[in-house]
Structure 1
């Protein structure tokens, strides 16, 4: 048994959060002792496993500002994580000290962890270089980012082990951090498929899929296109709206009346972009005269999201150059064809014309795929079946758990693990 601590900035709802929760579940199933340390955790805006007692969750540093004067979010995030790392290294009670710390998103905490008296091993999971997620607007912004970018590169190199979430991210990592000799291993995220299986049985038992609409504005005979992603501009929800408008010009009026686009996005009132972009999408819906065809949902629960996935006919995935993207896997496991952009992580998960379509970043390409799936039920069923099988064969939770367990075991020598047990 290895004692593992996940150090994560904000245990909200998102792909990064889903990954660390699934990783924690995988390690717990392998008999390890797992806990979380975070700067922020809202029990009403998180994945249920972090709120129902599945894992101990400790919150430190939430009193520190997230930004200053509407700016400096990056430096504040770094300071908040430094505070958490200092707590984990020097102030955590001895009975809670751990053998391995798994951190992601922000690497500045790694040097602090290396100076901890009990010196845990540090595993860093790189979703994508943080410096590439920041806009490059203006000279002052570039100067502001220079020391932050330098810190990111040099602190990642201090980790005992580095993982990335896809081959695409590996190429970007190597192109971005040219001074690092570190060669990360690729560990694809997975799904906790047992949860999806249990949820499907639960929904079928109460006949939710047959007798109840998924939303008051979605009729039972609706053809549902589902778009799941946070309300951020880079997620490109507007492409789904414009493609739906084009679909309306391609279909007979009676057919288009059945079409519904449900955008189910992570929404946090503390994040100004979430608030602004939700309003922008509502305005765009009106401009495109799609009010009767679009439903905007904010932060659906896990059960609501599963219900949407099972009820949908097709999953849309609109971000460009997404580093991995867990949502296409969720869609494929729920036997839904996936329409995604032909870039980034989806090129490693979605097989074009087999489990869905990989499209260009145009409404003509995207809308054409949506039209084809609307017209061809046999194709939808075939793609859905092939997608489900692909997740089982290539991205199974058991394979993910075995691989992660092996990495943790390699990091912690048996002698140290044994001595840890004696002190308990």
Structure 2
């Protein structure tokens, strides 16, 4: 992408995001809103949920406003139809932007749920930018024939509405998934999320033998893989001094409103007990930004266990802190982790992860990979580069 134009207009930009909580997708939205505001644009964020006690600090008193709309529609129906409800909630947000927001936006930034795109195209004259973190259809498992039909409809809606945006920003997996858009000759821009680096904490308590997992307490994140891999590491390499003094920390987002978060947290505790790792494994729920930075500072490696995950901000955070990553050889990590240089990409098996962890338990190996990881992130994924590129995109989009 070209650099930011020298002469720019002060644009009015709105964000349409389903749930402004804590997570990689939310981090991207917050970073994008902050960066666009820092370039002199007026920015407003619209969302269906925003808990001021469980959010990124920039969303409270930051350089942009946050407005909640559509929260009256449920997040699920009898604990099902989550995707459908997310579609409806984002459509309600889009309608609110069109009818209730008393201003005209030059650009509306939509992410995660593309169903909002045609509503904005129909009801506003704004240019609509859609950021596709990862095609939703690749995350959904077909549990039954009826569910497969349900997903087929939603998948068709996702592809159709995604193609209606004026501008698409995507990860590389996009075109392989949306074949019909590829046949139409649609060429979106590959655009990576950003990361705020905190160099002062990189060296804080460096050299501790802590294996760290950062992810929400959801079953699809495969956190049990980290526990089983750590157990396998203890069993096969117990004589290795660094391994015998190692621990595993599972830290992640935890929403007490969600039954799955509560249930899976208990399931992981039971797994730890079954493997006799009570003194070696700790679960940390809903940790603060300061705790996150401190944990990254003392880790010798970060484990990222989701399979076929979307881009994933955690591997970038880990590498930015000078920590190598052990991740599944699928999805987003294949774009961010340089196998054998900034970390290891492995099959989703406990023995494979344990073998990689054994290598990274060596302080020299971990330090060298961590150094390469940080240089890789600085070169490719800095927030400044992200902000300049994104501002350039919206400036050009507004002029078309």
Fold shared by both chains (TM-score > 0.5): yes
Matching residue of 1:421? none
CA shift, 1:107, in A, is 1.1
Aligned to 1:187: 191
C-alpha separation between the residues in 2 aligned to 1:53 and 1:27?
12
The Cα of 1:145 is off from its aligned counterpart by 2.7
1:139-218 equivalences under 5 Å are 139-164=145-170, 166-167=171-172, 169-175=173-179, 181-193=185-197, 196-197=198-199, 200=201, 209=204
2:66 to 24, 49, 57: 57
Q: Does 1:105 align with 2:147?
A: no
- Alpha-carbon deviation of 1:221? 8.9
Deviation (angstroms), 1:256: 4.4
Rounded Cα–Cα distance in structure 1 between residues aligned with 2:262 and 2:70 = 24
Paired residues of 2:300 and 2:323 also in contact (CA < 8 A): yes
Partner of 1:45: 54
**Which residue pairs with 1:296 in the alignment?**
283
Q: Deviations over 1:203-224 (max 9, x none)?
A: x8xxxx45xxxxxxxxx99521
Distance 1:144 1:382 in 2: 48
In structure 2, what is the equivalent of residue 381 of structure 1? 367
Counterpart position of 2:92: 83
* Deviation >4 Å, runs of 4+: 176-181, 253-257
Does structure 1 conserve the Cα–Cα contact (< 8 Å) formed by 2:214 and 2:252? yes
> Residue 7 of structure 1 aligns with which residue?
16
Decide which of 252, 264, 284 is 2:239's aligned counterpart.
252
Are positions 1:365 and 2:352 aligned together? yes
How far the C-alpha of 1:257 sits from its partner, in A, is 4.5
CA deviation after TM superposition for structure 1 residue 103, in Å:
0.5
* 1:313 aligned counterpart, secondary structure: strand
Equivalent residues of 2:37, 2:64 under 8 A apart? no
Are 1:400 and 2:386 counterparts? yes
Structure-2 separation of matches of 1:303 and 1:343: 30
Query: For the structure 1 residues 397 and 35, does the alpha-carbon distance in structure 2 shift closer, same or farther, using more than 3 Å as the test?
Result: same
Q: Larger deviation: 297-306 or 357-366?
A: 357-366
Q: What aligned pairs does 1:285-364 form with structure 2 within 5 A after superposition?
A: 285-364=272-351
Which segments of 5 or more consecutive residues in structure 1 lack a partner in the other structure? 211-219, 415-424
State the TM-score, normalizing by the size of structure 2.
0.92
What CA distance in whole angstroms lies between the structure 2 residues aligned with 1:332 and 1:313?
11
Q: Which residue of 2 aligns with 1:133?
A: 139
Q: 1:357 Cα shift?
A: 1.4
Count of residue pairs brought into register by the alignment: 390
